[in-house]
């Protein structure tokens, strides 16, 4: 039986998830401050609500798919927040990439009122969210994950059970996204070098994709960058945030690696340089530019 599902935050990822569920016949309730996005989903059969509390009332599971911890705080516990409308038996899937301690805090607050939370960050981008091939990293009580098994299977064919402890999904996502950030910076650096050496970037990338330098995110983003397509599927600000959170988690664990800080600094420089609103493929634009000389 396909129970009603609420989704708060129907941007690139949340909107793709909503469209997938609607296509599969799930009753979907949506809420977002972007009226254009909710209206598009309404035309596909979604029921639109103006507040998270309205969206949460009566659904079996609520998916929170916003950007950061302050937004999750507002969605759940702010004025007209969803928590006030949630009751025992309803479950919450926390999908944003946020600090593990924030995930733990949100899950604990929900549990105080008898509502279970699954730490469920996602990876793969909007196209993979839409076709069900994205990855979902699941950390939560096994009985809750089982209870929402049909919903999770409808969202993704790549479900990874991390642990029974909310927060471990967030930790896993930060590890993944730190590597994604490192790989993307490396791919952009390599392609900028190829161009500086007078090589054809398309041919060079095609060779890399069949050789030892290949990475999924490098191929995906550099194909778009070479074509001059910087329409945001994943804004530059997201990997700036995610690599920063990963470095904070590393510092808390007493770990320091050689590449993460350099990757984060590159995303931060891109955001400061006016590329924050573009797709993170725009790193190639940044690295095409010569670095100013020290003191210049």
Claim: this prediction has a pTM higher than 0.75: yes
In 3D space, the residue among 130, 177, 126, 117 whose CA is nearest the CA of residue 156 turns out to be 130
| Residue 172 contacts residue 122 (beta carbons within 8 Å) | no
**How far is Cα 203 from Cα 209, in angstroms, rounded to an integer?**
10
**How far is Cα 38 from Cα 257, in angstroms, rounded to an integer?**
42
**How far is Cα 279 from Cα 232, in angstroms, rounded to an integer?**
4
| Residue 283 contacts residue 188 (beta carbons within 8 Å) | yes
Task: Find where tokens 């016949």 sit.
Answer: 25
> Top-level CATH class of 5-165?
alpha beta
CA distances from 251 to 178, 207, 263, 266 (A): 13, 37, 16, 19
281 CB-contact burial (10 Å; exposed 0-12 / middle 13-18 / buried 19+): buried
Q: Which two tokens stand for residue 186?
A: 């490396």
pLDDT tens, the chain, 296 aa long: 799 999 999 999 999 999 999 999 999 999 999 999 999 999 999 999 999 999 999 999 999 999 999 999 999 999 999 999 999 999 999 999 999 999 999 999 999 999 999 999 999 999 999 999 999 999 999 999 999 999 999 999 999 999 999 999 999 999 999 999 999 999 999 999 999 999 999 999 999 999 999 999 999 999 999 999 999 999 999 999 999 999 999 999 999 999 999 999 999 999 999 999 999 999 999 999 987 655 64
Provide φ and ψ at 240, rounded to 5°.
-60, -50
Contacts of 124 (CB under 8 A, 6+ apart): 133, 134, 135, 158
Spacing of C-alpha 56 from chain mean position: 21
Domain boundaries, the chain: 5-165, 171-288
| pLDDT tens-digit series, residues 68-88 | 999 999 999 999 999 999 999
Spacing of C-alpha 51 from chain mean position: 22
Helices assigned H by DSSP within the chain: 12-23, 35-43, 52-56, 69-77, 100-112, 126-131, 142-147, 149-155, 168-196, 201-209, 216-226, 236-252, 260-270, 283-288
| Residue 151 contacts residue 1 (beta carbons within 8 Å) | no
Active site residue 158: no
DSSP per-residue codes, 115-173: -EEEE--EES-HHHHHHT-SEEEEES-HHHHHHTHHHHHHH-SEEEEEESSTTHHHHHH
Which residue among the candidates 2, 158, 173, 241 is catalytic per the annotation?
Answer: 173
Give domain 171-288's CATH number out of 1.10.3720.10, 1.10.1040.10, 3.30.460.20, 3.40.640.10: 1.10.1040.10
**How far is Cα 112 from Cα 110, in angstroms, rounded to an integer?**
5
Return the number of other C-beta atoms located less than 10 Å from residue 187's C-beta.
Answer: 26
| Residue 242 contacts residue 97 (beta carbons within 8 Å) | yes
């Amino acid at each position: 039986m396909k129970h009603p599902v609420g989704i708060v935050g129907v941007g690139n990822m949340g909107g793709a998830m909503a469209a997938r569920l609607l296509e599969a016949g799930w009753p979907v309730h949506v809420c977002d401050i972007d009226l254009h996005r909710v209206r598009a989903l309404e035309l596909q059969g979604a029921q639109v609500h103006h507040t998270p509390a309205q969206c949460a009332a009566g659904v079996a599971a609520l998916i929170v798919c916003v950007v950061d911890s302050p937004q999750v705080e507002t969605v759940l516990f702010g004025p007209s927040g969803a928590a006030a409308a949630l009751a025992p038996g309803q479950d919450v899937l926390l999908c944003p990439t946020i600090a593990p301690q924030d995930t733990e805090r949100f899950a604990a607050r929900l549990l105080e009122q008898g509502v279970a939370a699954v730490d469920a960050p996602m990876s793969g981008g909007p196209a993979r969210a839409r076709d069900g091939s994205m990855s979902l990293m699941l950390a939560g009580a096994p009985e809750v994950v089982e209870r929402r098994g049909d919903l999770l299977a409808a969202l993704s064919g790549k479900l990874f059970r991390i642990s029974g402890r909310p927060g471990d999904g967030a930790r896993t996502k930060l590890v993944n996204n730190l590597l994604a950030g490192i790989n993307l910076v490396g791919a952009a650096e390599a392609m900028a070098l190829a161009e500086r050496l007078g090589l054809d970037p398309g041919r060079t990338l095609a060779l890399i994709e069949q050789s030892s330098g290949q990475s999924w995110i490098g191929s995906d983003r550099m194909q778009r960058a070479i074509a001059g397509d910087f329409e945001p599927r994943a804004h530059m600000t997201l990997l700036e945030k995610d690599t920063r959170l990963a470095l904070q988690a590393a510092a808390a664990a007493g770990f320091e690696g050689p590449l993460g800080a350099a990757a984060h600094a590159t995303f931060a420089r891109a955001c400061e340089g006016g590329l924050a609103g573009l797709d993170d493929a725009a790193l190639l634009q940044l690295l095409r530019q010569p670095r100013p000389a020290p003191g210049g």
